[in-house]
Amino acid sequence: MVDADFVRYLHQAQMCLNEVARATQEVDKEAWLKLGEEWMEMARKAQRQKPYEQ
C-alpha cells in the first residue's frame, strides 16, 4: 500500500515543477525548483518511514 503522505508530497513536488515551466523570471524558476526539491526530500523520507515509526 502506498503511503498517503508520500503521494501528497510527490504531488506537491510535481505542482512545483509545473510552476517552473510556467515561470518567466529566472528567480521564480529557481524558487519553484528549490521548493520542489524540498517536497521531493519529504517524499523520500515518508517513503523510507516505517508505519511503526509514526
Mean pLDDT, rounded, for 11-20: 98
Q: What is the pLDDT of residues 42-51, one digit of tens each?
A: 999 988 886 6
CB-based contacts of 4-9 (< 8 A; 24+ apart in sequence): 5/42, 5/46, 6/43, 6/46, 6/47, 9/39, 9/40, 9/42, 9/43, 9/46
- 9 vs 15: CA distance, rounded Å: 10
| pLDDT exceeds cutoff 60 at 54 | no
Owner of C-alpha cell 515561470? 23
pTM summary value? 0.83
What pLDDT is stored for residue 1 in this prediction?
45
Mean pLDDT, rounded, for 27-31: 98
Residue pair 36/9 in contact (Cβ under 8 Å)? The answer is no
Domain boundaries in the chain? 4-53
Instruction: Give 2 or 4, the one with higher predicted confidence.
Output: 4
